């Protein structure tokens, strides 16, 4: 009889392939193999697990409500919160620069690591086992989300505000881009023609920065 494989338990899963776990916790700054490919896979798996849970729990919600809820639950800050509950920051393998700059506390790095971990669990044990481990991480947030009541994102709300008044849509412009390739910070300006107004926002991706800029403009409109 073959000897049983020694398994390492981490975040509720007993890994048969310890190399997958090590790769999931290795940031690009620490060399190769790092976790970016696992992050790509885990992003899709997390999205499917959350989408399936919402579909089952909200039988009367339309596609728009389901999409907004999923986006809220799997956005960078939400994933980083889950990563902190699992104490992933203390387990990350980072390069010297990221260690000095506190990379283990950064939302972008934590959320990427969580997705990589999900990808690793999926490859190690398959979808059913992965869902059994991962879904409980999100159940509290799902239960706290009122069915069909998740708000629209800032860009959508701003667009609808302008369209309702038959005004031109906003223009988004990249103002600056800074940081290393693995920790970019984008700054975007959102400009309205009528009323004349500009707001700026920052984020770990251009999309996130655009949302922050739209939020700034909405705040300005409300204050006007």
Q: Which of 105, 125, 144 is the last residue of a domain?
A: 144
Are 196 and 132 found together in one domain? no
Nearest C-alpha neighbor of 43 from the set 170, 134, 167, 161: 134
Domain carrying residue 158? 154-223
- Rg of the chain over Cα atoms, rounded to whole angstroms, equals 20
Between CA 216 and CA 158 the distance in angstroms is 10
Q: How many domains does the chain have?
A: 2
Are 132 and 30 found together in one domain? yes
Between CA 56 and CA 187 the distance in angstroms is 38
Between CA 109 and CA 184 the distance in angstroms is 11
Q: What pLDDT is stored for residue 189 in this prediction?
A: 95
Q: Which of 118, 144, 170 is the last residue of a domain?
A: 144
Are 38 and 137 found together in one domain? yes
- 39-78, pLDDT tens digit by residue? 999 999 999 999 999 999 988 888 888 888 898 899 888 8
Are 140 and 158 found together in one domain? no
- 116-168, pLDDT tens digit by residue? 999 999 999 999 999 999 999 999 888 887 765 566 778 888 998 999 999 99
State both tokens at 87.
Answer: 């104490």
Active-site residues, by number, are: 43, 115
Rounded to 5 degrees, what are φ and ψ at 3?
-65, 140
State both tokens at 106.
Answer: 């950064």
Q: What pLDDT is stored for residue 197 in this prediction?
A: 93
Q: What pLDDT is stored for residue 105 in this prediction?
A: 84
Q: What pLDDT is stored for residue 4 in this prediction?
A: 43
Q: What pLDDT is stored for residue 1 in this prediction?
A: 30
Are 59 and 138 found together in one domain? yes
Are 115 and 206 found together in one domain? no
Share of the chain above pLDDT 70, in %: 92
Q: What pLDDT is stored for residue 171 in this prediction?
A: 94
15 in a domain, yes or no? yes
Mean pLDDT computed over 91-106 = 86
Q: Which of 116, 144, 172 is the last residue of a domain?
A: 144
């Amino acid at each position: 009889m073959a000897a049983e494989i020694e398994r390492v338990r981490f975040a509720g899963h007993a890994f048969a392939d310890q190399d997958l776990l090590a790769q999931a916790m290795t940031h690009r700054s620490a060399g190769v193999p790092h976790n970016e490919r696992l992050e790509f896979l885990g992003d899709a798996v997390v999205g499917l697990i959350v989408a399936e849970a919402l579909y089952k729990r909200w039988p009367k919600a339309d596609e728009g409500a389901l999409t907004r809820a999923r986006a809220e639950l799997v956005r960078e800050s939400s994933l980083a919160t889950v990563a902190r509950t699992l104490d992933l920051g203390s387990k990350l393998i980072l390069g010297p620069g990221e260690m000095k700059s506190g990379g283990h506390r950064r939302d972008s790095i934590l959320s990427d690591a969580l997705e990589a971990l999900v990808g690793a669990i999926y490859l190690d044990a398959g979808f059913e086992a992965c869902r059994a481990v991962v879904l409980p991480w999100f159940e509290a947030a799902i239960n706290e989300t009122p069915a069909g009541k998740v708000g629209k994102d800032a860009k959508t709300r701003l667009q609808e505000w302008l369209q309702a008044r038959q005004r031109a849509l906003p223009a988004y412009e990249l103002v600056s881009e800074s940081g290393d390739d693995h920790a970019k910070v984008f700054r975007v300006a959102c400009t309205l023609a009528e009323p004349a107004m500009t707001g700026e926002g920052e984020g770990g991706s251009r999309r996130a920065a655009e949302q922050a800029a739209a939020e700034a403009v909405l705040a300005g409109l409300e204050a006007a």
